Structure 1
Amino acid sequence: MLWGCFAAEGTGANHKIDGIMRMDNYVDIMEQHLKTSARKLKLDRKWVFRIDNDPTHTSKVVTKWLKDNKVKVLEWPSQSPDLNPIEHLWTELKNCVRARRPTNLTQLHQLCQEEWANIHPYYCG
């Protein structure tokens, strides 16, 4: 499983998740990658983080971390269809990696990192 973020300017970090995503793992990933990705993408202080209603994303621990770190979150109604634009990027990533035919998990991860970094901003905007 991968965690990734993006903005109209392009892709931010991409992080491999071993096993099941738990709320403490999610907080660790955000601590490591969220604000550094915002800086890399040259986002001003007015950026808004978009997450879906997955229980991990909306847990009290995650909500507290977001509030403590002054991360503004886009309100997303419950029971809404999954219209998350990152799904298009995951499809693009899968297609690019599949075309390179990785032969083991190490190579798969390496290719995911390379191809994520190479996704053109056209797909992000």
Structure 2
Amino acid sequence: MVRNRLHEGGMRARRPQVGVVLTAQHRAGRLAFAREHRGWQIHHWRPVLFTDESRFTLSTCDRRDRVWRRRGERSAACNILQHDRFSGGSVMVWGGISLGGRTALHVLARGSLTAIRYRDEILRPLVRPYAGEVGPGFLLMQDNARPHVAEVCQQFLQEEGIDAMDWPARYPDLNPIEHIWDIMSRSIHQRHVAPQTVQELADALVQV
């Protein structure tokens, strides 16, 4: 009865949008960033390299799958998506995109991403050459993760003459590379044969 009334009012059940928890300080930072860049045109954004890391797991179930079934067939084997939340491994990757191109996708080996690794595996071999190709005006967008803002990495950027954007805390939704991660996740998830090992997952991500 309640559902019918809601439907009559144009309301439908939908999965809620997921967002980050924001304090008043976070909101103020986001607003200040938006006001600072609201007048930017395409030529302002063109030299910006948007970067990020993302973790993909073998056991991820994104709940996008749907099955067509009759009443009473919910538990039929053909209608069950097997998912073991405690199995499998994961792969962390780093990538960068801009209006003019993209970096190679870097698969991070096992272990935590430290400041030294970030400098030696990403900033030096990937970001620095990209900045050289873009030339004057290059701007690195990276979030405020600890390895990114560590002194050793800040010193490297300064020595190389690479400018980084002042990025507000808790602001992942403005980074367009988040859409790339989502597209990659969908592509992997929709494969006829899903990756079964960490290496297969890494290979699939690079291929995508």
Task: Return the TM-score normalized by structure 2.
Answer: 0.49
Larger Rg: 2
Ranges in structure 2 where 5+ consecutive residues have no aligned partner = 1-91
How many equivalent residue pairs? 112
Match of 1:104 among 162, 174, 197: 197
Q: How high is the sequence identity, in percent, across the aligned residues? A: 25
Q: For residue 112 of structure 1, what is the amino acid of its counterpart? A: L
Match of 1:16 among 107, 120, 138: 107
| Corresponding residue for residue 62 of structure 1 | 153
| Corresponding residue for residue 184 of structure 2 | 93
| Corresponding residue for residue 124 of structure 2 | 31
- What's the offset of the Cα at 1:65? 0.7
Q: Measure, in 2, the Cα distance between the counterparts of 1:33 and 1:6.
A: 12
Extract structure 1 runs of 4+ deviating beyond 6 A: none
Contact 2:128 2:160 in 1 (8 A): no
Q: Measure, in 2, the Cα distance between the counterparts of 1:111 and 1:38.
A: 27
Q: For residue 61 of structure 1, what is the amino acid of its counterpart? A: V
Q: For residue 35 of structure 1, what is the amino acid of its counterpart? A: R
- What's the offset of the Cα at 1:113? 0.8
Match of 2:163 among 67, 72, 89: 72
Match of 1:81 among 162, 171, 183: 171
Task: Return the TM-score normalized by structure 1.
Answer: 0.79
Q: In terms of mean alpha carbon deviation, does 22-31 or 5-14 score higher?
A: 5-14
Q: What secondary structure is seen at the aligned counterpart in 1 of 2:149?
A: coil
Q: Please list the CA deviations of residues 36-69 of structure 1 after superposition, one character each: whole Å capped at 9, or x if unmatched.
A: 3456xx5333221001111111111110011111
- What's the offset of the Cα at 1:80? 4.5
Q: For residue 124 of structure 2, what is the amino acid of its counterpart? A: E
Match of 1:46 among 116, 124, 137: 137
| Greater percentage in helix | 1
- Output aligned runs, 1:114-125, within 5 Å: 114-115=207-208
Contact 2:140 2:163 in 1 (8 A): yes
- What's the offset of the Cα at 1:92? 1.1
Ranges in structure 1 where 5+ consecutive residues have no aligned partner = 116-125
Q: Measure, in 1, the Cα distance between the counterparts of 2:190 and 2:129.
A: 30
